[in-house]
Amino acid sequence: MAASDFNFYSGRVIVHCLHKSLVFLAGKQNSYSVYNTEIRQIKVKKRHKDKRFVPLYLSMPRPCFFTLRLALRYTASMQSLSQIVHSSTALLAAAHVDAPRRSAQIIAAHVLGLDRVGLLLHEQDKLSAEQEKCIQALIERRAQGEPVAYLVGSKEFYGRTFLLNAHTLIPRPETELLVDYALEHLPSHACTFADLGTGTGCIALTLACERPLWRGLMLDIAPQALDAAQKNARQLGAAQQVLPLLGDLTCAPLLPHSLDLVISNPPYIAEEELASLSPEVRNFEPAAALFSPRSGLLHLEAAARAAQGALRGGGLLLLEHGATQGEVLAASLAQTHFWHDIKIHKDYAQLQRFCSARAPAY
């Protein structure tokens, strides 16, 4: 039977008298929409005058079944982009995923190689069976809680796209505030900086892209994270401005009095806070980049110690921290009797987010 024997409308297959048994079981020549297939069975919905659909199971003769199954495979590629986004949104909403429609849109755009505008321009385009299969596979993983950024392998930060992997944290909007502060409080001419615990390199590479005369180090203890940072440096055209360095933040190999800025978003979550984290963070983001001993302060204080010896006179220290760590970290910095102009800064939600401090002028 040729494909022309089927009428396709809104993703439904309208079956017209495929077999006498189908006509017999279904009654009159009503409209049907295919719901699901099993071995030699098909579940269809019969349209009644009251417009409701009633499931009806039909045991179909082999010739009729295989003819219809072939048609179903053909129609699997006939869903439009807007239809697959709509059905994916419904599935994610039922799974209680945050921002279900946005997740569905990002996944569809990733598979189809489209941007946000492209999604609108091509929303009535029909998808191939392979495209639909890829989207559905990623949607199922998203429904299990896996973050969208890991599914598509990238995340936007400061208007740029950064590649990431399972060994890097997902860049977050709050971290952009550190970049803003550095750009506003340091001169645009030649400066040197170190990004401790660079991950994707989003902080270091954003600084390099925004200030072409700046040069910096990207330090991370995870080789896979440093690999992602290097890929991002090449992709953004900033590879000549940054030097990747494999090393431990707690004993960062920085030259004395060589830097104008030390900036870091280190591990700062206390290990006892594990249960309070969202499943997306707890189950998917790398623990080594999240947790720090001593109530989450070990890596923060280590970064400050490294900066104390590495900054030039008047150099700037910027440390992202947890919402309850601001006063404790500021007190720790003050106790060294080294840092000047210690300040705690809030994020978009008015939560304490990062500390700034200045090295004394020599």
Token pair listed for 283: 């189950």
Q: What is the pLDDT of residues 132-144, one digit of tens each?
A: 999 999 999 999 9
Q: How confident is the model at residue 116 (pLDDT cuts 50, 70, 90)?
A: confident
Residue range 165-358 in CATH 3.65.10.10:
no
Kindly tell me the sign of the dihedral angle through the C-alpha atoms of 90, 94, 99, 105: negative
Of the listed ranges 26-30, 74-78, 116-120, the one predicted with least confidence: 26-30
- pLDDT, tens digit, for every residue of 307-334? 999 999 999 999 999 999 999 999 999 9
Q: What's this model's pTM, rounded to 2 decimal places?
A: 0.77
Task: Specify the DSSP class assigned to residue 35.
Answer: E
> Once rounded to an integer, what is the mean pLDDT over residues 262-282?
95
Question: Which whole-number Å values give the CA distances from 204 to 24, 79, 141, in the listed order?
Answer: 71, 43, 31
CATH architecture group of domain 81-152: Orthogonal Bundle (1.10)
Cβ-based neighbours of 287, under 8 Å, separated by 6 or more: none
Residue 1 pLDDT > 50, yes or no?
no
Dump pLDDT digits (tens) for 51-63. Answer: 333 333 334 444 4
pLDDT in tens, 148-190: 999 999 999 999 999 999 999 999 999 999 999 999 999 999 9
The candidate with the shortest Cα–Cα distance to 212, out of 179, 176, 233, 238, is: 238
Domain residues of the chain, as ranges?
Answer: 3-77, 81-152, 165-358
Give me the pLDDT at residue 362, please: 72
